[in-house]
Amino acid sequence: MKNKTLFLLFCIFICQMAGVAGSAFTFREIPTWYAGLVKPAFQPPNWLFGPAWTTLYTLMGISIFLIFKKLEDKKLKKKKRQEIKSLIILFFVHLVVNAGWSIIFFGLHELLLSFATIIVLWMLIAILILRFHNVDKVASWLLVPYLFWVSFASALNYSIWRLNL
């Protein structure tokens, strides 16, 4: 990793692109389909979601950058190097699930399936936090706000599904 700043920005960019992919299905549905749904009292204002997700995708990008950086260690044993590579793959699988939630919820209007998807996403984030902790504690802690937000989003998704049966 010769240019760390450039690679850090690239990692953040890749994570932000997961958000962009999901938002392609979100924006057009907010004033139409989503506006017509019954929502719980704890529904935050729509304007809050953009800044929250932008911040979280940035933290994710920094987190995966820190994990990638560990591969630079020349003393790293083959087994540990393989573990880190598998974590990187898991991270990108989780990003696909993350973007998939928006497609399922906003694109397909599948409230129950989106709830199942967000539970899978929550579990993947929890696994990443636990496994990143063994590689880089800061990378692990950077994902904690994301887990909290997805916990809240899970409750919101569940409530919207139940209110709109």
Residue 22 has pLDDT above 80, yes or no: yes
Contacts of 72 by beta carbon, 8 Å cutoff, 6+ apart: 1
102 pLDDT band, cuts 50/70/90, is very high
Mean pLDDT across 49-76:
96
Mean pLDDT across 86-115:
97
Residue 2 has pLDDT above 80, yes or no: no
Residue 1 has pLDDT above 90, yes or no: no
Q: Is the CB of residue 11 less than 8 Å from the CB of residue 139?
A: no
Per-residue confidence (pLDDT) for residue 87, from 0 to 100? 97
Residue 53 has pLDDT above 70, yes or no: yes
Average pLDDT, the chain: 96
Q: Is the dihedral of CA 33, 38, 40, 46 positive or negative?
A: positive
Mean pLDDT across 3-10:
95
Half-sphere exposure (CA, 13 Å, Cβ side) for 20?
7
d(CA 121, CA 99): 10
d(CA 41, CA 101): 22
Per-residue confidence (pLDDT) for residue 160, from 0 to 100? 98
> Can you give the pTM of this predicted structure?
0.95
Contacts of 94 by beta carbon, 8 Å cutoff, 6+ apart: 121, 124, 125, 128
Percent of the chain with pLDDT over 70: 99
DSSP string, 135-149: T-HHHHHTTHHHHHH
Residue 140 has pLDDT above 90, yes or no: yes
- DSSP-derived 3-state class of residue 44: coil
